[in-house]
Chains A and B, each alone.
Chain A
Amino acid sequence: MSAGFLRFGSLPFAVLLVILAAPSGSSQDRKVVKITAERFTFTPSQIKVKRGTVIEFRLRSDDTNHGFKIVGSDANLIIPKRGRGEATLIFRAEMPGRYTFECSKVCGAGHSFMRGEIIVEDQE
């Protein structure tokens, strides 16, 4: 598996996962990325990481339910409504390239504009 993700309904599971998935001595970088979803944008919408980084996405909404789907995979979860907490997703960026993510739950007239990308750069 060249890149991977894990999804959880709550933060404690994700914290545990990071403990489990990265035994001491691992060379993987870890990065927490907080994304706010709002009609009709993700902020930030472009995330750049080095190959091998484990990204912990923490996703929250400023209005309604949104989806967070990484295109081409079955990574697809619902971001809770405003004030209802956050969703967490772990993504291992092990293959260089551009990964598109988008809102997968119709959220209004401009739903189709809600997209972003993860840019995985080769280590130099």
Chain B
Amino acid sequence: MRVSIMVLVVLFAAGPVLAQPQPPPAAPADRPAKTPEEARIDELERQLEELGARVAELQAGEAPEKPNDEASTTSQTGPISGYMDFHLNRPQDEDPVLDFHRFVLLLNHSFSDRMRFVGEIEVEHGFVEGLEESGELEVEQAYLDFRVSRSFNVRAGMLLAPVGIINERHEPPSYFGVERPSVDTFIIPSTWFEAGAGVHGAFGAGWHYQAYLMAPLDATRITAEEGLAEARQKGFLSNARNIGQTARLEYVGLPGLTLGTSFWRGKTGFNFRREESRVGLIEFDGRYHTGPFAIRGEFAQVFIDGADHLNDFAQRTTGVNSNIARQMRGFYVEPSVRPLPKLKYDIAAFARYENFDTQFRMPAGVLPLKQFDRAAWVVGASYYPDPDVALKIDYTVIRTQSSLFRGVDSLNVGLGWWF
């Protein structure tokens, strides 16, 4: 630090000296004396040569000789990155649970500037065993990116559905709360990944788009309790009789502001003979931060065509009515503040209100169960000893509209990090 200050002082002291013209040197006796203008020109030329030499010394590398529309073919392998988080969840009137929730590694390889591989492998809940209920080992991303231009690129492999805030931004320090928002679990089934292909790019000053075709959701796994959460095929021999379509448009052109909208649609009834159902999802989200204050919000609604047929068919074949709704809906708003932005060790406090109803609209003649119309208040704080490390604590209150199933409160503590 002391050395840096000294260098700084020297450099600033040197600047004016270098910038000022020196007195012209005395003229040789055997030549006529130079005019003041000539002497000044000579001195300026000498200074220019010196400055050129200094610039060459400082120059750190070679610049592109021409616009980089021609990419290099240099192969580069990036380091392994990843994130982890583990939680202590203490629901009211229940034993606390200590869960190493996520262990995620990201792999990155560039075949060239034009072709890249990205992989993401996740172990959930720390332990995986066949047959019995256990954790999960998932390949959440494994794709090749063919980078044609800023505005048009092709991606194929295991992809993240570009829906909502959390599905593509789920590194623990990047969101508040020990657990992800419920809307991003039951209405948008994060982490939502499927095999597929599509295009993405950016245009103008801050517009981004993505559009993919991917394997559809499985209607037999939609439930009243967990919405779409278990309906993902996850690239496991995914049925592709019908292909789902998804797209996202995002605007990031103003400092601190991100606005996004996305949709997903596809036929999902491939496991029901002679039955077809179609699921559609629309979503809007926004984030804004200025100074120590930030706010984010999200709204998502699911439309299920043929929900009545799906329920009838499930009743006939399994004896259990799935109680699938024809519409689900969820939204949340989350203000936050970082009260000590000038300190090296950051602290943030937040409050989140969520409302999510997995039986928002039922098929004709079926009444919704009020226990699935839920609201959650989450109040908490994060402490960042490093911008990539978050120690989180929150208190979550979930209430339902049912008088029989009130909901639960829980105290949650978590530690998450990105590297």
Contact = CB atoms under 8 A, between A and B. Distances in A.
Interface of A: 1-8, 10, 12-13, 15-17, 19-21, 23-24, 36, 39-41, 43-46, 61-65, 70-75, 81-84, 91-92, 95-100, 105-113, 115-117, 120
Given A81-B387, A92-B63, A41 B204 contact: no
A43 B206 contact: yes
Nearest to A101: B68
Given A72-B72, A82-B387, A115-B150, A3 B65 contact: yes
Nearest to A34: B255
Contact of B171 (A41, A46, A109): A109
Nearest to B252: A41
B388 interface: yes
Contacts of A73: 61-64, 68
Contact of A82 (B18, B118, B140, B346): B346
A44 B61 contact: no
A83 B387 contact: yes
Interface in B50-81: 51, 54-55, 58-72, 78-79, 81
Contact of A64 (B140, B204, B341, B418): B418
Contact of B63 (A4, A8, A62, A97): A4
Contacts of B61: 5, 7, 73-75
Interface of B: 4, 7-8, 11-12, 14-15, 18-19, 44, 47-48, 51, 54-55, 58-72, 78-79, 81, 83, 106, 108, 113, 116, 118, 120, 140-141, 145, 150, 160, 168-171, 173-174, 200, 202, 204-206, 208, 252-256, 258, 289, 341, 344, 346, 386-388, 418
Contacts of B83: 108
A97 B67 contact: yes
A15 to B, nearest CB: 8
Contacts of B69: 97-98
B208 to A, nearest CB: 6
A124 to B, nearest CB: 19
The 4 nearest A-B residue pairs measured at CB: A97-B67, A72-B68, A4-B63, A73-B64
A40 to B, nearest CB: 7
A50 to B, nearest CB: 15
B157 to A, nearest CB: 12
A83 B408 CA distance: 38
Given A63-B387, A99-B67, A112-B145, A23 B48 contact: yes
Given A20-B51, A63-B174, A109-B168, A4 B59 contact: yes
Contacts of B18: 19-20
A18 to B, nearest CB: 10
Contacts of B79: 106
A109 B162 CA distance: 11
B387 A3 contact: no
8 contacts: A8-B60, A19-B15, A24-B19, A73-B62, A98-B68, A99-B64, A107-B81, A112-B145
Contacts of B170: 109
Contact of A46 (B55, B78, B205, B254): B205
A109 B386 contact: no
Contacts of A62: 289
A43 B255 contact: yes
B108 A10 contact: no
B208 A39 contact: no
Contact of A20 (B54, B81, B108): B54
Contacts of A23: 44, 47-48, 51
Nearest to B294: A62
Given A23-B47, A74-B62, A92-B63, A100 B150 contact: yes
B51 A21 contact: yes
B47, B108, B206, B289 pick with most chain A CB within 10 angstroms: B206
Contact of B55 (A3, A20, A70): A20
Contacts of A99: 64, 67-68
Contacts of A63: 173-174, 387
Given A40-B169, A109-B168, A13 B344 contact: no
Contacts of A106: 78-79, 81, 106, 108
B164 to A, nearest CB: 12
B71 A39 contact: no
Contact of A97 (B47, B66, B108, B258): B66
B15 A16 contact: yes
